[in-house]
Amino acid sequence: MQRWPVVLFLAWVCFLFFAGIGLFMSGFLLTRIELASSSSCSDPLVPPPWERQSLPPGSCWAPQRFSKAVLVIIDALHFEFARFDPAKASPLPYENKLGVLHQLATSQPRHARLYRFRADPPTATMQRIKGLTTGSLPTFIDTDGRRVVFMGDDTWEGLFPKKFFRSYFFPSFNVKDLHTVDDGILQHLYPTVDSGEWDVLIAHFLGVDHCGHKHGPDHPEMAKKLTQMNEMLRSLVDHLGNDTLLLVAGDHGMTETGDHGGDSEKEVSAALFVYSRTPLFGSGPPEEPETIPQVNLVPTVALLLGVPIPYSNIGEVMAELFAGDGDAVSAALQQLSVYHINAKQVDRFLQSYSLVAQDLPAEQLQHLQELFSSAVEEHTQLLAQVQGTTVPPELEPRLGSLISRFQRYLREARAVCTQSWARFHPLRMVGGCILIASSCLLCYMASELAASSQSFCRSCLLYPLLWGPVGAALLWLVHVFTQEGLDLLLVSSWAAAASQLGFFWHWWGQHLKRARLTGSQPPLASGGLRQRLRAWLGLAFPMGILFFRCGAMFSDSFVVAEARVAPFLLASLVMLLVGKLHWDGRLTVPEGPKQQLLGLSSYRREIWYLLCLVAMFLVCVRLSSFFHQCREEIPQCRPSVFLSPLASLRNTRAKNLFYLLCVALLAGLVYAVQNWLRHYGNLNSSDPLVLFVRWGFPLVVLCIACYWAVASSADDSLGKLQELVQVAVVVFPRAVYGLASVGLLLLLCNPVTVFAKDTRESAGSIVTPYLGVPGSEVDFLHVIPQIYKRMQESQRSRLERGSCRATVAAYGLGSVYSAALVIALTLLAFLLMLLHSERLSFAFLLLFVEAFVLLHIHTCARGLAGDAELFSVPWYAVISWLLAASQFFYSTGHQPIFPAIHWNAAFVGFHLDHSTNLLPAVLVGANTFASHILFAVGCPLLLLWPFVCEMSNSQKKKPKKESQEELQEVEEHMMEMRLRESPEEFSTALLQLGLKYLFVLGAQLLACVCAAMILRRHLMVWKVFAPKFLFESLGFVVSSICLLLGISLVMRVDCAVSAWFSQLRLR
Amino acid sequence: MREAEIWRLLAANLLCALSIVLAAVVPAFFLDGFSVLGTHLTWLCVCSVCVATLNIILHLVLKPNQSPKRRSFAHKISRFLKCCIYFFMSCILFHAIIVLYGAPLIESVTETFLFAVLLSTFTTLQCLCLLGPNIQAWIRVFSKNGAMSIWESSLQITSLCSILGAWFGAFPIPLDWDRPWQFEQLFVAI
């Protein structure tokens, strides 16, 4: 297999996953553009002049009816809770408890009324607050100059920071706690109301909701809670003045189990109760309470209070509240004017919205526009005929019909908006889910196939790639005929699905063919079955761990505690590996039949090595847990001290100490990497890359150290040095960026770190590409220069002895692939460390040590198990590698929640001015997915490492060597050249590794996607599952791209090595 | 012979399970305010002591591996001491492993250590009773096809299951039940 098909195939698989993620995301998070504009009093949609003159002071757009308003929000106040049915003999715990509402509504029918309040899904409190307060989008009712006092649920604080005149926030998180918030509000409510220092008072009670979550609605606790609310309302009504409007609203309902978040009838029907001491309504209440959408509250309250309706409101005013005291005609005029204002505002919003976003269908907008303009035209005509407030009687029916036309316009506008803004798109979600699942399956099958059949890739790649565009073209044709707009996402997912079908179709065809071929031969059923069973059992361990990991995504507690789950599973996987090796008797050396009979067997020598490695590994895993960030769901958690930058340390001595330690760590890392390279002989040549490793690495470290020094002392009063510091803070990181990119470029240009010693005589040399040293001296291993001398001497002596064979000694050829990867990883690590806070370099060092130990364990286990298949990486290795990646995601101080993102990474090397959004996004992304990047790029090491370590196990020479005569020796010391010997298998192995990696990543992603889809009505979906899904899918994208890069880097090295060989032959 | 062995084994295991249940129930009559979840420390103590004594008594009574030779008293003493040292070492080892698995290092040291002791009583002590302080035999028993007698295979299953049980016991920790040390050793009864 060639190199390009491998990369292409992997890229195609990645594309399949991306299409799936995109499709799911488009169904899960429908994007809606938020307009920043806000309404103001002087907007040109003012009512006609005759009415404007009569506006009382403090009014705006419409006459002010109330100067004050109290909004009592009782979380999860279901409509059934508020309804009172005196005929009921034995009410359920939640029925007939809010007697005060019924009492007010029956005794003062023109003052009070109960409504069925319809919430839009999703019925989570945060979304509902937004809907309640803004009439659609998060811009608060424009309360300029009004004093808004808030008490209750602290969700409001995050939504409207610093908007309140005074506020009393109480924590809303603990669902088990029924009373803290309510008691806190009650403590402040009446004093505040009596003090009069407010215009709008909002009180958000949480007890009912929490009680529903804890006990469910059908529970005595709920009765107690509702009775408490009843008492609260009763005394609140007594405290109100004549100029105050009281609104009691539930933000959503609840199901029979007390939950909410979805779109079932019980969840969306809440209660709204309106009351004032002055008459509000023109007539008595209807028999059955009216149903009104939640968004209608905002325009109504805004106009009643005489403030402008928020710019983005799409609600409709509740006209009956504007009836006033007058007769029917004046009431109708009043209502007409508020409808007019409302319609004008909605029209303005729709127009400006359709300018920036295209998600509202054009023809429907057109239709709405026609409705609006005809209604407005008639309105102006009508007003021209009306003089003052006296209306000619013949116009009265026209008034009514005009009102209903405005109503129709507003309702249709809202319907259009909600239709295109509906939160979830189940079809797309399911489609994305299926696409991801089938991609996973494809990965698994392809990785199995790649091992078995050689010519698989070309055929299996070619057909899907043909099928994909065909599918896309078909879709395009359909769209051309139906004249609909074309969505890039849909097209790509169609292409993905079609190409996948092509793959499976092709595979099935081949399978049938093969089955027919093998069917003619006598089947080896029993032996084959047993073997297969054993293979399945071998798979069971790592797959079981993967299964647990995926299962953990479905519980919010496990997602919250994932920082501890991942290391736990990782440690278990490694322990299981060792246990299994022991169980299979791989660790013991059977010593003759007699002793075996007695059960006496001694361990191999390697066992101690392996145990030490495992112990080291466990210690690393444990230590890495000291760098965790906290989530708000775990209140007793304290974030790690290492996360804060050094500049925040008060203690100067500690600061200096930590600084020195960090720099020492950096230097240690460089030293270790250089030592490793030197050990394998990759540090001898005078290529630019090697020179960079020798001199550029320390320079990078120096720059980082300088930057840290400057950054951590930036706050100190340095006086005139301040400007210098300002410059230095920018210059040093940029120098690191520059150096690192130079290094990466060099790596791409010439990745071969091989030093060739050519001792052939020019005349008559036989072309023997590479010949090593005669292998007797074991003592000069570590000092390469000495090797040169001795080698030259020995070769000379050999030549003198008459062996006229010419030699080329190549140093570091055996580890040329890994050397390139290690250099790339180190450079990346420098960049990523720069983006993190100083003390997280400990975590990065741990990451390197752990990865190193993991590779060694893998190699060691492989050597002990005596695997026949050298070219395939076992599943446990891939899974443990990925578990380590997610473990270090947490250990570099991250959490899958938005507040935990390290935003300051965007300003490393840049002042607070970014011209584009791309650069900070890349920086923050690199910071967040640091461990994903490192582990994905380093993934090919899993394949390479056993070859690299081959030599150190057999305790032989460092430089790779080969000769035509010493074939025996060749077998021993080929190291990574083994891979070059069989390029076909090498490519296949890389493909297989990539596919396995993608499969495991994809399985995790699939679990997240399914969790987000299935639990989309869960209480925690916007706090836990949705962010987790977003982080996981972004992590998938980053990882897969980095995996591709890592594999292409190995390919690039392979090309370069080939070129090097052919050059050598030519010479 | 074989059936009798099986019956004896069954009886021993049932007694073990019974002792665990009793350890959870009986002290409530003697100690004030005892409950398995409330005072888990005492429970851990009582349980491990119970199981330990029961194991030793069973070992003395049933004598599953009759040693053919009679040994001197000094030899027995040294054997006993060796057993004690092994037991203690295994406690330390289990403790280290639990800590490495993510238990807090400084807080709740006693819980961790008592849990380690409990685990060792379930695994190491039984090994010691059956096989004596003979590492080679242990290695043999805990590898594939290593168990020779029914007692040994029972030992194999019991120890592996208790370790597995402890492993699974860690699963509910993140669930918000507010009870940290919920390691139930139900698997031992198998």
pLDDT tens digits for range A59-74: 677 777 888 888 888 8
pLDDT tens-digit map of A108-136: 888 888 888 887 766 666 666 666 655 44
Q: Average the pLDDT over each of A33-37, A438-442, B41-45 and give the range with the smallest value.
A: A33-37
CB contact under 8 A, B170 and A568: yes
Higher per-residue pLDDT: B92 or A954:
B92
* pLDDT score of A102: 86
**CB within 8 A of A129, min separation 6: which ones?**
A73, A155, A156, A159, A251
Q: Which of A397, A451, A122, A98 is nearest to A272 (CA)?
A: A98
Residues of chain A in contact with residue B139, where contact means CB-CB under 8 angstroms, are 588, 601, 603
A883 confidence band (pLDDT: 50, 70, 90): very high
Residue A636 touches chain B, beta carbons under 8 Å: no
The count of other CB atoms within 10 Å of the CB of residue A877 is: 26
Residue A580 touches chain B, beta carbons under 8 Å: no
CA distances from A337 to A94, A185, A310, A382, A403 (A): 41, 38, 17, 12, 9
Tell me the sheet residues that pair with A246. Answer: A70, A275
Residue A584 touches chain B, beta carbons under 8 Å: yes
Question: To the nearest 10°, the Cα dihedral for A941, A942, A947, A951?
Answer: 80
Q: Highest mean pLDDT range out of A119-123, A272-276, B126-130, B154-158?
A: A272-276
A967 confidence band (pLDDT: 50, 70, 90): very low
Average pLDDT score over residue span A1038-1060: 89
pLDDT tens-digit map of B30-57: 666 666 555 666 777 777 777 777 777 7
Q: Which of A45, A37, A58 is nearest to A145 (CA)?
A: A58
- Token pair for residue A212? 């529903």
Quickly count helices (H) and strands (E) in chain A. Answer: 37, 12
Average pLDDT score over residue span A701-729: 76
Q: Is A753's pLDDT higher than 50?
A: yes
Per DSSP bridges, beta strands A602-603 and A755-758 are unpaired
CA atoms of A700 and A734, how far apart (whole Å)? 11
* pLDDT score of B34: 60
Residues of chain A in contact with residue B148, where contact means CB-CB under 8 angstroms, are 599
Nearest neighbour of A571 by CB, restricted to B101, B139, B142:
B101
Nearest neighbour of A557 by CB, restricted to B101, B139, B174:
B174
pLDDT tens-digit map of A260-317: 766 677 778 888 898 988 887 877 777 788 888 888 888 888 888 888 887 877 888 8
CA atoms of A198 and A189, how far apart (whole Å)? 12
pLDDT tens-digit map of A345-364: 888 888 888 887 766 778 88
Q: Is A1021 left (phi over 0), alpha (psi -120 to 50) or beta?
A: alpha
* pLDDT score of A459: 63
Residue A554 touches chain B, beta carbons under 8 Å: no
B46, amino acid identity: V
Q: Is A736's pLDDT higher than 60?
A: yes
Q: Is A991's pLDDT higher than 60?
A: yes
Q: What are phi and psi of A684, to 5 degrees?
A: -105, -35
Residues of chain B in contact with residue A560, where contact means CB-CB under 8 angstroms, are 174
Q: What's the start-to-end Cα distance of chain B, in Å?
A: 22
Residue A583 touches chain B, beta carbons under 8 Å: yes
CB contact under 8 A, A568 and B97: no
A715 confidence band (pLDDT: 50, 70, 90): low
* pLDDT score of A323: 74
Angle A102-A107-A113 from CA coordinates, rounded to 5°: 55
Average pLDDT score over residue span A224-237: 89
* pLDDT score of A139: 39
Chain centroid to CA A506 = 35
Q: Average the pLDDT over each of A341-350, A545-554, A857-866 and give the range with the smallest value.
A: A857-866
Nearest CA in chain B to A548: B171
* pLDDT score of A525: 46
| Residue given tokens 């920018």 in the structure block | A730
> Which DSSP category does A60 fall into?
B
CB contact under 8 A, A560 and B174: yes
Distance from CA of A227 to the nearest CA of B (A): 30
- Kindly tell me the sign of the dihedral angle through the C-alpha atoms of A194, A195, A199, A200: negative
* pLDDT score of A1006: 93
Average pLDDT score over residue span A147-158: 80
CB contact under 8 A, B143 and A585: yes
pLDDT tens-digit map of A769-813: 333 333 333 333 333 433 444 444 444 444 444 434 445 566 667
Nearest neighbour of A622 by CB, restricted to B102, B137, B148:
B102
Average pLDDT score over residue span A651-659: 84
Distance from CA of B59 to the nearest CA of A (A): 23
Residue A599 touches chain B, beta carbons under 8 Å: yes
* pLDDT score of A825: 92
Nearest CA in chain B to A617: B100
pLDDT tens-digit map of A481-510: 765 556 777 778 888 888 888 888 877 877
- Burial grade of A798 (CB within 10 A; 0-12, 13-18, 19 or more): middle
SS (H, E, C) B40-73: HHHHHHHHHHHHHHHHHHHHHHHCCCCCCCCCCH
Higher per-residue pLDDT: A1026 or A850:
A850
Is the Cβ–Cβ distance between B159 and B122 less than 8 Å?
Answer: yes
* pLDDT score of A437: 92
Residues of chain B in contact with residue A603, where contact means CB-CB under 8 angstroms, are 139
* pLDDT score of A596: 43
Grouping H, G, I as helix, E, B as strand and the rest as coil, residue A119 is coil
Candidates B139, B157, B171, partner chain A, best to mutate (most A CBs within 10 A): B139
* pLDDT score of A847: 92
User: Which residues of B make CB contacts under 8 Å with A?
Assistant: 97, 99-102, 136-137, 139-140, 142-144, 146, 148, 167, 170, 173-176
* pLDDT score of A678: 83
A574, amino acid identity: V
Q: Is A962's pLDDT higher than 50?
A: no
* pLDDT score of A807: 53
CA atoms of A580 and A865, how far apart (whole Å)? 10
* pLDDT score of A124: 61
**Residue extents of the structural domains in chain B:** 2-189
Q: What is the ipTM of this complex?
A: 0.80
CB contact under 8 A, A601 and B97: no
Q: Is B25's pLDDT higher than 80?
A: no
A345, amino acid identity: Q
Nearest CA in chain B to A600: B136
CA atoms of A945 and A943, how far apart (whole Å)? 6
**CB within 8 A of A257, min separation 6: which ones?**
A216
CB contact under 8 A, A599 and B146: yes
Its pTM stands at: 0.71
Q: Highest mean pLDDT range out of A52-56, A920-924, B117-121, B178-182?
A: A920-924
* pLDDT score of A810: 64
* pLDDT score of A889: 92
Distance from CA of A622 to the nearest CA of B (A): 5
A903, amino acid identity: W
CB contact under 8 A, A565 and B175: no
Chain centroid to CA A421 = 22
Q: Is B186's pLDDT higher than 70?
A: no
**CB within 8 A of A724, min separation 6: which ones?**
none
Q: Which of A355, A352, A360, A342 is nearest to A408 (CA)?
A: A342
Q: Highest mean pLDDT range out of A329-343, A533-547, A996-1010?
A: A996-1010
Question: To the nearest 10°, the Cα dihedral for A86, A87, A90, A91?
Answer: -50
Q: Is B24's pLDDT higher than 80?
A: no
| Residue given tokens 């996987």 in the structure block | A573
CB contact under 8 A, B144 and A571: no
- Burial grade of A358 (CB within 10 A; 0-12, 13-18, 19 or more): exposed
Distance from CA of A632 to the nearest CA of B (A): 14
Q: Is A1037's pLDDT higher than 90?
A: yes
Higher per-residue pLDDT: A644 or A175:
A644
| Residue environment code for A105-120, b if the CB has 16+ CB neighbours within 10 A, otherwise e | beebebbbbbbbbbbb
Class of domain A65-305: alpha beta
| Residue given tokens 């050793």 in the structure block | B185
CB contact under 8 A, B144 and A584: yes
Residue A585 touches chain B, beta carbons under 8 Å: yes
CA atoms of A492 and A472, how far apart (whole Å)? 7
Is the Cβ–Cβ distance between A964 and A988 less than 8 Å?
Answer: no
Q: Is A1035's pLDDT higher than 90?
A: yes
Mean of the per-residue pLDDT values of chain A? 77
Question: To the nearest 10°, the Cα dihedral for A889, A892, A896, A897?
Answer: -170
A931 confidence band (pLDDT: 50, 70, 90): very high
CB contact under 8 A, A618 and B100: yes
pLDDT tens-digit map of A365-389: 888 889 888 888 888 888 777 765 5
Tell me the sheet residues that pair with A153. Answer: A170
CB contact under 8 A, A572 and B167: yes
CB contact under 8 A, A601 and B142: no
Chain A residues 93-112 with a CB less than 8 Å from chain B: none
CB contact under 8 A, A599 and B140: yes
Grouping H, G, I as helix, E, B as strand and the rest as coil, residue B104 is coil
Q: Average the pLDDT over each of A332-341, A412-421, A831-840 and give the range with the smallest value.
A: A412-421
Candidates B99, B100, B160, partner chain A, best to mutate (most A CBs within 10 A): B100
Is the Cβ–Cβ distance between A493 and A431 less than 8 Å?
Answer: yes
Candidates A583, A621, A632, A864, partner chain B, best to mutate (most B CBs within 10 A): A583
CA atoms of A942 and A1050, how far apart (whole Å)? 12
Helix A125-134 to helix A297-305 angle (10° resolution) is 40
Nearest CA in chain A to B141: A599
Mean of the per-residue pLDDT values of chain B? 70
Nearest CA in chain A to B142: A583
A1041 confidence band (pLDDT: 50, 70, 90): very high
Residues of chain A in contact with residue B169, where contact means CB-CB under 8 angstroms, are none
* pLDDT score of A528: 62
* pLDDT score of A676: 87
* pLDDT score of A5: 78
